[in-house]
Amino acid sequence: MALAPDIASSSDPATVTDDGNHIDAPGLQPFVFALFFIFGGITSLNDVIIPKLKELFTLNYTQAMLVQFCFFAAYFIVGLPAARLVKKIGYMRGAVVGLVTMMAGCLLFIPASQTATYGLFLFALFILAAGVVTVQVVANPLLSLLGPQRTAHSRLTFGQAFNSLGTTVFPAVGAGLILGKLAEVSAADLTGPALDAYRTAESNMIVNTYMGLAVAIGVVAAVVWMFRNKLQGETHQDSSLFGGFALLKRPRFGYGALAIFLYVGAEVAIGSILINYLAEARVFGEPESVIGWMITLYWGGAMVGRFIGSAVLRIISPGKVLAFNAALAIALIAFSATSSGPIAGYSLLAVGLVNSIMFPTIFTLACEKLGASAADGSGIINVAIVGGAVVPVLFGMLADATGSLPTALILPAVCYAIIAGFGVFARRPA
């Protein structure tokens, strides 16, 4: 933990500094890191569920991407109400509300499994995501405020490393529990009662995983509730539900929100098709159950990059680092799409490494000096995360239309090009 910035060890209550840009909250950062770990891990499980549901319900890529659409649509629908809720009840209580909502989403997998209905799975994912959004509205601005402004980029990148730790651990476990050993038969080979029985049996693998998550989230919620009075003197800018949109008039914040939209969309689109991509004959040519674990390399790269990035961002301009990483992502995508064999697979997996610093760097560059408007800014940024719903569906449509996943990779490449532009733009002082 040598790289962890500004972590205090005292158990004293938190206090807010006069400028509203800095909260002295000794000992609180580890709890925020835990929140990053949880919502990152749960989000990455979608990458394991997608190939499973695609097979169970014989879906095309566009239909399968509805998993990400329903999950990330919650950011668009819930982001602003969640920000308003957090301003009303505070960061810690807001985190508890988010965690309890996540539990409810996990429990909804029970009826979804019992009926083996794709629509119910999508609804359960939406509720689960609503809780994730609320927790994320709390975690990002809170961590950026828990220390000096000059180290906010580094601190949030370090927190995002715990997010990546979750996205690395959860898919590794989830691939074994959810994908398991693929049955010798496929849903495409069955009809009638036999198909219903197969879907119900295979769905149980999903529900068992999420029941375990519900228990773990409940424990975390109880712990966070115990510290609900940790912050004292917490202040927020008073505004209407949609008042935060006024921040979009600031060029830096507006461009940053667009960059978040595109970054999350590109990252989720690539992660969502990785298992299917790697399983293609031109890449590894192995069944999904065999190469499913490799999704952890994508998210594990992001984890390693964020731990390194938290140090690099202390000595190199965040804008420069962002522009460089975005350009490298484009190069890796182009190389993967135009090559074959293991090198094509590993080069696309390596995009996870260069993704590492993008979200926290874009977030902090966009939200610099928002002060008491931090919750509003976080709410708008979380609305922008709806890119994770829009871009993957467009990606799926492009893949279906061209019949080629490599060709469809041009869409995330365009997203990274615009992100590189924001890195150059944001080098100017806020």
pLDDT of residue 128: 93
- Is position 256 within any domain? yes
pLDDT of residue 28: 73
CATH number of 251's domain: 1.20.1250.20
pLDDT of residue 240: 58
Local mean pLDDT, 10-residue blocks, the chain (430 residues): 31 43 63 85 84 82 89 88 85 91 92 84 93 87 73 74 82 72 60 78 80 90 83 61 73 92 95 90 84 84 85 88 96 96 96 91 82 71 88 94 95 98 83
For the chain, give the secondary structure using H, E and C: CCCCCCCCCCCCCEEECCCCCCEECCCCHHHHHHHHHHHHHHHHCHHHHHHHHHHHCCCCHHHHCHHHHHHHHHHHHHHHHHHHHHHHHCHHHHHHHHHHHHHHHHHCHHHHHHHCCHHHHHHHHHHHHHHHHHHHHHHHHHHHHCCCHHHHHHHHHHHHHHHHHHHHHHHHHHHHHHHCCCCCCCHHHCCHHHHHHHHHHHHHHHHHHHHHHHHHHHHHHHHHHHCCCCECCCCCCCCCCCHHHHHHHCHHHHHHHHHHHHHHHHHHHHHHHHHHHHHCCCCCCCCHHHHHHHHHHHHHHHHHHHHHHHHHCCCCCHHHHHHHHHHHHHHHHHHHHCCCCHHHHHHHHCHHHHHCCHHHHHHHHHHCCCHHHHHHHHHHHHHHCCHHHHHHHHHHHHHHHHCCHHHHCHHHHHHHHHHHHHHHHCCCCC
- Is position 12 within any domain? no
- Is position 14 within any domain? no
- Is position 17 within any domain? no
- Is position 160 within any domain? yes
pLDDT of residue 10: 32
**Domain limits at 420?**
27-230+242-425
pLDDT of residue 280: 92
Q: How far apart are the C-alpha atoms of 128 and 122, rounded to whole Å?
A: 10
Report CA-CA distances (Å) from 140 to 156, 177, 185, 202, 296: 7, 30, 44, 36, 23
Enter the tokens of residue 210.
Answer: 């999420």
pLDDT of residue 236: 62
- Is position 237 within any domain? no
Q: How many domains does the chain have?
A: 1
pLDDT of residue 250: 84
- Is position 108 within any domain? yes
pLDDT of residue 247: 80
